[in-house]
Structure 1
Amino acid sequence: MTTTNTQPPPTKVPAQPRTSIGKFLVQGGTTIALIALVLFFFAMRPDVFLSFTNVRNILFQVSILAIIAGAQTVVMVVGDFDLSLAATSSLAGAVAASLMLGGVPTPVAILVALVVGLLIGIANGLLVAYLNLTAFVATLATMTSVIGLAYLVTEGTTLFNLPGDFTTLGQGRFLNIPLPVYIAIAISVILWAVLRFTTTGRKWYAVGGNAEVSRLSGVNVRRGRLLAFAVAGLISAIGGILLAARLGSASAVQGSDNLLFSVAAVFLGMTVIKSGQANLVGTMVGVAIIGVLSNGLNIIGVNSYVQQVVTGLIIIAAVTLSSLKTRER
C-alpha cells in the first residue's frame, strides 16, 4: 500500500526589493536638489527670493536655456549629442539681425534665420546618420564652422538698433510675464507631447535604446536620427532669435554658455525617471536647478567666478548621477 503526500507545496514568498538611502538619493536626487536649493535661498533672502518679481526674473533668465536644452534633449533621446546648438542659435540671431539692419522685413528675416538653423541641423544629421561620423566629432566640426560663419555675418562686431517689432518678441510682456517664457513653455509642451505620444517620439526612444534592434524591427534609424538633428537645429534657431530680440543685439558668441548648461540640464533630468533616459520633464527640472542656483548666488552676492566653478561641479554631479542611474537599469 502506497501513501501520497497530501501536504501542499510550500508557498513562495515574493522577494521584496531592497531599498537604501543611496538608491533613494539616486532616484530622486535631482528633485531633492531643486527643493533644497529653493529652501536654502529662501532662508538666506526670504524677502526677495520667492517674490513675484524674482520668480519672474528666474523664468525670464532660463527661458532661452529651456529652449536650447529641449533641443539637446531630442538629440540625446536618439543616443547622440550636439555640440553645435549654441553656435547655431548665435548664427540664427546674427542672420536675423543682419538682414533686418539691411532693410529686410522682420518676418522674412526670422524665417531665413529659422531655415539656417534647420539646414545646420540637417547637415549634422547627414554627417552622423549617413556618413557614420561620431556625433561628437561631427558636431564639433560643425560648431567651429558655424562660429566662423557667425563672425562673418556680424563682421566681428555686435549688431545694434534692431527694429522694435523684433525686440518686442524678447522684451514684450503678457499679463506681466515676458513673452519668451510663454514661447519656452509652448515649445517644451510640444516636444513633451511629441516624445510621449507620437510614433516619431517612440521611434526616437527605440533608436536611443538600441539602434540595431530598432533597425531589425523595421525602424528607419538613419532617417530618425536625421530628423532629430533637424528638429534640434530648428529649435536652437528659435532660441537664438529670441535671445537677440531680448538683448536688442546680436553677436557671434551670444549665448555660448547655453551649450554647457543645456548638457547639464539633460543629464540632471535623466535621473528623474527610472529608465535613466533623456526626457523633457526631467530636462526642465534640470533647467530649473540651474536657474535657481544662478539667481540665488547672485542674490546673496557670490562672485561670478565662483559661479563658474559651481557650474562645473553641477555638470560633474549630473554626469555621475546619470551614470549611476544607467547602471541600475
Structure 2
Amino acid sequence: MTTTRNPGLEDVTDVRAVPRRSVGQSLLASGTVLALVLLIIFFFAMRPDVFLSFTNVRNILYQVAILAIIAGAQTIVMVVGDFDLSVAATAALAGSVAASLMLGGVPVMVAILAGLAVGLLIGLVNGALVAYLNLSAFVATLATLTSVTGLAFLVTGGTTLFKMPAEFDNLGQGRILQIPFPVFIAIAISLVLWAVLRFTTLGRRWYATGGNVEVSRLSGVNVRRVRLLAFTIAGLVSAFGGILLAARLGSASAVQGSDNLLFAVAAVFLGMTVARSGAANIPGTMVGVAIIGVMSNGLNILGVNSYVQQVVTGLIIIAAVTLSSLRTRER
C-alpha cells in the first residue's frame, strides 16, 4: 500500500494503489469490456443492415445520455461507500419544477437554475441525514425517494406537463453535426466528474473515505464534510439529468425516468469490475452504461417483447452485483 500526501490530507491511504492483479482479477476486469464487445458483435451479426449504422449508433448514444448523467451521480456517492436511492426521483422533481415554472411564465434560464437548486437541496438533505445524523444511506435515501416523489406529484398535479418554450426543448432535442446536444452534455459532465475523482484532493478524499472511513478520519480527513459534498454533488448532477430529460421529451412528470435508478446502479456495479481497485469509477460506469444501452437497443431491433427485456434487465443487475462481489473478493 502507498500513501498520498497533499495539503490538508496527510497519510491518507490511496485505495487505488493496490497489488498487481491476479489472473482472476484480470479476467473479471477484461470480462466486462469483453461482454460489451461480444454484445456489439452479436447484434451486428443479427442485424448487420441496422445495428452499426450511423443513425442507430446515434440513437444508442441519445438513449443513454441521461442514464450516463444519473449513473455519474450514483458513482460519486458509491465512491465514498454510500448509496443513493433518490437520484432518479431527484431528477424527476427537478425536471418537474423547471417545467412548472416555465409554464407559469418564468424565464427558461431562471427555471433551470431553480431545478438545479432543488437537486442541490435534496443532496444536502441526504448528506446531512447520512453524514451528520448517522442514518443508514439506504434508509435515508429511501425516505427521501418517497418524499421527493410525493413532491413531484404535487408540483405536476399528477399530470404530465408539456408545451414548454422551444428554447428549452432545443436543449434536449437540438443537434450539432447531427449529434444530439444531450450526448455532448453527458460527455462533458462525465469528463468533469472523472477529472474531479482522478486529479483533485477532494476526489482522493472521497476514495480514501470509501476505502476506510476510520483510517481517513484518523488521517485528518473531515469525513462528514466529504460525505456531505458527495451527496450534494450527486443531487446537483441528478437534477441536471432530469432537466435535460424533460427537455428531450418535451414534457415532465413525477415518474419520468424512474427506471434510471436501477440502470444506474447496474452500470456502477459493472464499472467496479473494470477498475484495478475494485472501487466505483467513472470510466467503468460508462462501460456499464454502454452495455445497458447496447442491450436495450439490440433487443428492440430484434423485436423482443418488452416484458422479456425487463427479465434481461434484472439478470444484468444480478450479474453486475455478482461480478462486483467477486471482484472485491479477489482484492
Query: Shorter-chain TM-score: what band?
Result: over 0.9
| Structure 2 SS opposite 1:36 | helix
Q: Across the two proteins, how many residue pairs are aligned to each other?
A: 312
2:118 is the alignment partner of 1:120: no
Partner of 2:55: 53
Partner of 1:278: 280
Pick aligned residue for 1:217 from 212, 216, 219: 219
* Equivalent of residue 151 in structure 1, options 140, 150, 153: 153
Deviations 1:80-134 (A, max 9, x none): 0000000000000000000000000000000000000000000000000000000
Superposed CA RMSD in Å reads: 1.1
* Cα distance in 2, alignment partners of residues 37 and 27 from structure 1: 16
- Structure 2 match to 1:3: none
* Structure 2 residue 249 is matched with structure 1 residue 247: yes
Partner of residue 310 from structure 1, selected from 309, 312, 317: 312
Q: Secondary structure at the match of 1:255?
A: coil
Match of 2:134 among 132, 135, 142: 132
Compared with structure 1, are the counterparts of its residues 18 and 88 closer, same or farther at alpha carbon in structure 2 (3 Å cutoff)? Answer: closer
The CA distance in 1 between the partners of 2:103 and 2:276, in whole Å, is 49
User: What is the rounded CA distance, in whole Å, between the counterparts of 2:28 and 2:187 in structure 1?
Assistant: 27
The structure with the larger Rg is 1
Question: Cα offset for 1:27?
Answer: 2.5
- Per the alignment, residue 204 of structure 1 pairs with 206
- Structure 2 counterpart of 1:80, from 69, 79, 82: 82
Runs ≥4 residues deviating over 4 A: 17-20
The aligned residue for residue 35 of structure 2 is: 33
**Corresponding position of 1:6:** none
Match of 2:197 among 186, 195, 198: 195
Kindly indicate whether residue 292 of structure 2 is the aligned counterpart of residue 290 of structure 1.
yes
Contact 2:63 2:293 in 1 (8 A): yes
Q: Residues 310, 241 of structure 1: CA spacing in aligned structure 2 closer, same or farther, 3 A cutoff?
A: same
TM-fit CA distance, 1:24 = 4.3
CA distance in 1, matches of 2:290, 2:313: 13
Distance 1:65 1:292 in 2: 13
Whole-Å separation in 1 of the counterparts to 2:26 and 2:106: 55
Q: Deviations over 1:132-151 (max 9, x none)?
A: 00000000000000000000
**CA distance in 1 between partners of 2:104 and 2:319 (Å):** 46
The answer for the alignment partner of 1:100 in structure 2 is 102
In 2, Cα distance between equivalents of 1:23 and 1:30: 11
CA distance in 2 between counterparts of 1:24 and 1:326 reads 13
1:16-74 deviations in Å (ceiling 9; x for gaps): x9965x55432311101000000000000001100100000000000000000000000
TM (norm. structure 1) is 0.93
Counterparts of 2:319 and 2:29 in 1: how far apart (Å)?
A: 14
The one-letter amino acid paired with 1:284 is: M
Structure 1's unaligned 5+ residue stretches are: 1-16
| Separation in 2, partners of 1:87, 1:327 | 33
Q: Secondary structure at the match of 1:50?
A: coil
Q: Equivalents in 2 of 1:240, 1:168: separation in Å?
A: 15
Q: What is the deviation of 1:76?
A: 0.2
Unaligned regions of 5+ residues in structure 2, if any?
1-19
Could you say if the C-alpha distance between residues 19 and 110 of structure 1 is closer, same or farther in structure 2, counting changes exceeding 3 Å? closer
Residue 44 of structure 1 is aligned with which of 27, 42, 46? Answer: 46
- Identity, in percent, stands at 79
Partners of 1:19 and 1:132 in 2: CA distance: 36
Aligned residue number for residue 329 of structure 2: 327
Deviation of 1:208 (Å):
0.2
